[in-house]
Amino acid sequence: MIRIFALVLLLTTFYSLAQQPTEQQPTNIVQEIRIEGAIGPAVADFVVRQINKANALSQPLLMITLDTPGGLSSSLRQINQAVLTSSVPVACLVYPQGARAASAGTYLLYACHIAAMAPATTLGAATPVNIAAPGQGQPQGEKEQTPSAMDKKMLNDAIAYIRSLAQLRGRNPEWAEQAVREAATLTASEAMKENVITHLADSPTDLLAQLEGFSIKSGEQQIKLTLAGAQLQPVEPDWRFNFIATITDPNIAYILMLIGVYGLLLEFYSPGIGVAGVVGAISLIVALYAFQMLPLSFSGLALIALGIALMVAESFVPSFGIFGLGGIAAFVLGSIFLIDTQSPYFQISIPLIAGVAFTTVLVVIFMLGYLWRNRNVAIVSGQESLIGKVAIAEQDFCGQGFVDVDGERWAAHSDTPIKQGVQVTIESVQGLTLYVSPPTAKE
């Protein structure tokens, strides 16, 4: 185990050194980062690392092309913090045509030093997903629901956050508030007229050409971009991004957790060469690493743990299915509530939960059926299997003596006198002594 930890530490050190920029690397490179799909932990980790790298190399600009329906608030804020503290200007372009910067994408667009959109793209609809805009989602004829205090708190926090970004970048704060409060949206040309973005560009190359000599405000200083001769370099996701993107998929993390738990249980039930235990331990650690990046509900996790404990208890203390069925119910509820977000892109699939629950029900039914079928089966091994058997007395005795049981010599005890060669019945076993009784008069 120590050797494994040492090897992992060595590989991590080499990887860290390899990621450090060298002085020979050119500084006239403009990295192009592509964000496509929901913004989650993997995207946040990748973008933040690239922003830090651009700052370390003192590159003139960093460009982000964006096409996202939204994502996790925690991941968005990680990216925005890196953008806001970056000494290298960050340009965000909603691209290609048909792309959108919805929900979290709108906040990111406002946070960047330069905001641009390609033709036929849209932005907006930045209302927190678990808060319906007034009048939305209400059937006709029904009274509109009054937002709760928590809903108002979340909405006001989101409005204050996007207004602060708009004021920092000198863009339209009124429309930013409408995007959050009323889920307003804009096309590229409308966003330009409303001072929501700074540029219209057909492509990243076009935007790079437009930014030559463009002045931006960074802190209290005005910076004039000098991009003559700069090269646009797309940055492909690395293995770290792919790994984090895979394990932070809630469905994958959920499956890894199940493999981990059941692998360890299997190892405890039937200790062997340790394959189940090793695979289970690795899977559980990876799952926990993924869950700490996701908005985890500890109530859901506690329900899953309770469900597994009850199902394990059913196998040790048969309760005619009460523990098993109760464990399944707790397990299903915990699985539903495990990820604490309303974003549909980071929810555990209901069909997956149903499949796991159905499989678990079959296992519990099989286990109960097995126990029921074997409730009257005679014991064929161990000392308990001797009870009820017939032994032959090797000598006359009253009290302590010896008997023959299937060719084996056992110490025996009887309060009634026993004659040599008489068949006796084994009543109980205490330690290595058989307690026997003589044959009845009829016998």
Give the pLDDT confidence of 269-294 residue by residue, as tens digits. Answer: 676 667 888 888 899 999 988 888 88
170 and 299: one domain?
no
- pLDDT value for 421: 86
pTM beyond 0.75: no
Asked if 261 and 180 sit in the same domain, the reply is no
Same domain assignment for residues 317 and 259: yes
Q: Is residue 21 part of a domain?
A: no
| Cα 110 to Cα 191: distance, rounded to the nearest angstrom | 12
- Of the pLDDT bands very low, low, confident and very high (cuts 50, 70, 90), residue 427 is confident
Report the residue count for the chain. 443
CA distance 396 to 394: 7
- Alpha carbon distance 206, 192 (integer Å): 16
* C-alpha of 61 from chain center: 34
Q: Is residue 112 part of a domain?
A: yes
The CATH number of the domain where 428 resides is what?
A: 2.40.50.140
**Domain endpoint, select from 354, 373, 392:** 373
Maximum Cα–Cα distance across the chain: 118
Q: Averaged over 265-272, what is the pLDDT? A: 73
Backbone angles phi, psi at 345, to 5 degrees: -80, -10
Mean pLDDT of 105-133: 85
Q: How many domains does the chain have?
A: 3
CATH assignment at residue 66: 3.90.226.10
109 near 99, Cβ under 8 Å? no
- And the tokens for 383? 């000392």
Asked, as a colleague might, if the bond just before 96 is cis with ω within 30 of 0, I would say yes
Residue 136 lies in a domain: no
Closest CA to 43 of 199, 238, 179: 238
| The last residue of a domain, from among 204, 239, 274 | 239
Q: Output the pLDDT for position 134.
A: 41
pLDDT winner (highest mean) among 45-54, 138-147, 363-372 = 45-54
pLDDT reported for residue 127: 84
pLDDT value of position 198: 93
Q: Are strands 390-393 and 397-405 parallel, antiparallel or unpaired?
A: antiparallel
Q: What is the pLDDT of residue 177?
A: 94
Is there a single domain that holds both residue 267 and residue 278? yes
CA distance 155 to 130: 10
Residue 138 lies in a domain: no
Residue 247 backbone dihedrals phi, psi, to 5 degrees: -75, -20
Rounded CA-CA distance 110/84 in Å is 11
Is residue 3 in some structural domain?
Answer: no
What is the rounded distance in angstroms from the CA atom of residue 179 to the CA atom of residue 290? 31
pLDDT one-digit tens code per residue, 339-368: 877 777 788 888 998 888 888 778 777 766
The answer to whether the beta carbons of residues 328 and 364 sit under 8 Å apart is yes
304 with 331, same domain: the answer is yes
Among 337, 336, 330, residue whose Cα is nearest residue 312: 330
Q: At CA 243, angle to CA 3 and CA 15, rounded to 5? A: 50
Q: Is 58 part of a structural domain of the chain?
A: yes
Angstrom distances, CA of residue 345 to CA of 191, 238, 250, 287, 341? 27, 22, 9, 18, 9
* Residues 344 and 389 occupy one common structural domain: no
Co-location of 261 and 281 in the same domain: yes
Q: Indicate whether 328 and 369 sit together in one domain.
A: yes
3-state per-residue secondary structure call for the chain: CHHHHHHHHHHHHHHHHHHCCCCCCCCCEEEEEEEECCECHHHHHHHHHHHHHHHHCCCCCEEEEEEECCECHHHHHHHHHHHHCCCCCEEEEECCCCCEEECHHHHHHHHCCEEEECCCCEEECCCCCCCCCCCCCCCCCCCCCCCCHHHHHHHHHHHHHHHHHHHHHCCCHHHHHHHHHCCCEEEHHHHHHCCCCCEECCCHHHHHHHCCCCEEEECCEEEECCCCCCEEEEECCCHHHHHHHHHCCHHHHHHHHHHHHHHHHHHHHCCCCCHHHHHHHHHHHHHHHHHCCCCECHHHHHHHHHHHHHHHHHHHCCCCCHHHHHHHHHHHHHHHHCECCCCHHHCCCHHHHHHHHHHHHHHHHHHHHHHHHCCCCCCCCCHHHHCCCEEEECCCEEEEEEEEECCEEEEEEEEEEECCCCEEEEEEEECCEEEEECCCCCC
* Same-domain pairing of 109 and 231: yes
Residue finishing a domain among 183, 212, 239 = 239
Which structural domain, as residue segments, surrounds residue 337?
Answer: 242-373
pLDDT of amino acid 263: 85
Q: Indicate if 160 and 289 belong to the same structural domain.
A: no
Q: Are residues 62 and 157 in the same domain?
A: yes
Question: Per the domain annotation, does 267 fall within a domain?
Answer: yes
What is the distance between the alpha carbons of residues 33 and 87, in angstroms, rounded to a whole number?
Answer: 17
Q: Cβ neighbours of residue 73 under 8 Å, at least 6 residues apart?
A: 104, 128
Average pLDDT over residues 125-145: 53
Structure tokens at 24: 């020979």
Q: Give domain status of residue 378, yes or no.
A: no
Same domain, 302 and 233: no
Rounded mean pLDDT of 364-378?
65
